[in-house]
């Protein structure tokens, strides 16, 4: 098996640099925010963090391709870094501390590129999570000061905690009734949103989570962390990995049952 620990260490270096950039502008009164063509916000900090990460990657990993939310795809080849400079920009621009930089390394494999390294760094929360293929998932302040992540052992939906982002996306796709049925049948629901529910699944604090519309950079790092923690990460179609344009994550024990609810149309 390939050893991805050097890449993981480098991803932490990238996250450190991004954290310094994003925290320097968090809650800044003169923060510049624009609206992208898809009507989502982008701040100067999003662009600065991605430019910084791209610059370091181009110097240290010149043969690797880079896909980022703000500046698209550069390069080709079997290795591709996928970057979301600020996942949770709407939170960031409003001063809500739930946002993170997502960094993943993906490698060409059967069925498309698959994540082999992932780092999720949420500096305003003082939290970071990471994983490398075959090496497990961890959380902590640094590689040398970390705790291993394991998903929960909850095996009954009626005992499960379910996290989601919002109701509107499910309604727009005709799946709101199934979503609401699921919320009624679980023990607890909370709308944490963005990267956080996936990290809570990996920690075993939440048992299931799902979102109806996502991009690859929203999912790649989350996917490897959840799976290395012993969980399942698929699209709503059940396809493993971050390629379905939406996501469902769980402790594995409740995955099929959750998908049964979320794919109902009526």
| 22 and 129 inside one domain | yes
| 24 and 120 inside one domain | yes
Q: What is the extent of the structural domain holding 105? A: 4-148
C-alpha 230 chain-centroid distance:
16
- The tally of domains found in the chain comes to 2
Residue 185 annotated in ligand binding: no
Six-digit token string for 33: 């925010």
Q: State pTM to two decimals.
A: 0.95
Question: What CATH number has the domain bearing residue 192?
Answer: 3.40.190.80
Convert the pLDDT of each residue in 139-156 to its tens digit: 998 888 899 999 999 999
- Range 17-46 average pLDDT: 84
Contact 100, 116 (CB under 8 A): no
| 168 and 259 inside one domain | yes
Residue 84 annotated in ligand binding: yes
Rounded distance between C-alpha atoms, residue 210 and residue 235, angstroms = 9
Rounded distance between C-alpha atoms, residue 74 and residue 82, angstroms = 11
| 14 and 88 inside one domain | yes
| 14 and 137 inside one domain | yes
pLDDT reading at 41 higher than 80: no
Q: What is the largest CA-CA distance in the chain?
A: 52
Convert the pLDDT of each residue in 67-105 to its tens digit: 999 999 999 999 999 999 999 999 998 999 999 999 999
Contact 110, 72 (CB under 8 A): no
DSSP-assigned states of every residue in 123-190: TTTTEEEEEETTTEEEEEEETTEEEE--------GGG-EEE-S-SHHHHHTT-HHHHHHHHHHSSEEE
Dihedral angle sign, alpha carbons of residues 44, 129, 218, 183: negative
Alpha helices in the chain (DSSP H): 5-25, 44-60, 89-94, 168-172, 176-185, 196-203, 216-228, 255-262
| 163 and 119 inside one domain | no
With H, G, I as helix, E, B as strand and everything else as coil, classify residue 240: strand
Convert the pLDDT of each residue in 95-108 to its tens digit: 999 999 999 999 99
With H, G, I as helix, E, B as strand and everything else as coil, classify residue 199: helix
Residue 225 annotated in ligand binding: no
| 31 and 134 inside one domain | yes
- What confidence tier does 236 reach under pLDDT thresholds 50, 70, 90? very high
The conformation of residue 12, written as its DSSP 8-state character, comes to: H
C-alpha 193 chain-centroid distance:
10
Contact 101, 221 (CB under 8 A): no
């Amino acid at each position: 098996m390939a050893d991805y620990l050097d890449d993981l260490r480098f991803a932490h270096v990238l996250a450190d640099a991004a954290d310094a950039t994003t925290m320097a502008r968090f809650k800044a009164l003169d923060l510049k925010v624009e609206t992208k063509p898809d009507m989502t916000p982008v701040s100067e900090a999003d662009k600065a963090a991605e430019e910084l990460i791209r610059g370091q990657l181009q110097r240290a990993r010149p043969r690797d391709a880079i896909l980022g939310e703000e500046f698209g795809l550069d390069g080709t080849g079997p290795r591709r870094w996928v970057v979301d400079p600020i996942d949770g920009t709407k939170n960031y621009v409003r001063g809500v501390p739930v946002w993170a930089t997502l960094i993943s390394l993906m490698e060409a494999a059967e069925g498309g590129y698959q994540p082999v390294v992932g780092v999720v760094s949420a500096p305003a929360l003082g939290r970071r999570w990471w994983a490398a293929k075959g090496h497990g998932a961890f959380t902590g302040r640094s590689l040398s000061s970390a705790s291993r992540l394991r998903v929960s052992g909850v095996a009954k939906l009626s005992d499960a905690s379910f996290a989601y982002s919002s109701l509107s996306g499910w309604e727009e796709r005709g799946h709101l009734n199934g979503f609401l049925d699921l919320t009624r049948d679980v023990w607890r629901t909370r709308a944490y949103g963005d990267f956080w529910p996936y990290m809570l699944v990996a920690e075993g604090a939440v048992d299931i989570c799902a979102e109806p519309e996502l991009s690859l950079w929203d999912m790649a790092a989350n996917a490897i962390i959840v799976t290395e923690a012993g969980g399942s990460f698929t699209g709503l179609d059940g396809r493993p990995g971050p390629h379905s344009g939406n996501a469902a994550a769980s402790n594995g024990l409740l995955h099929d049952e959750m998908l049964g609810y979320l794919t109902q149309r009526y």
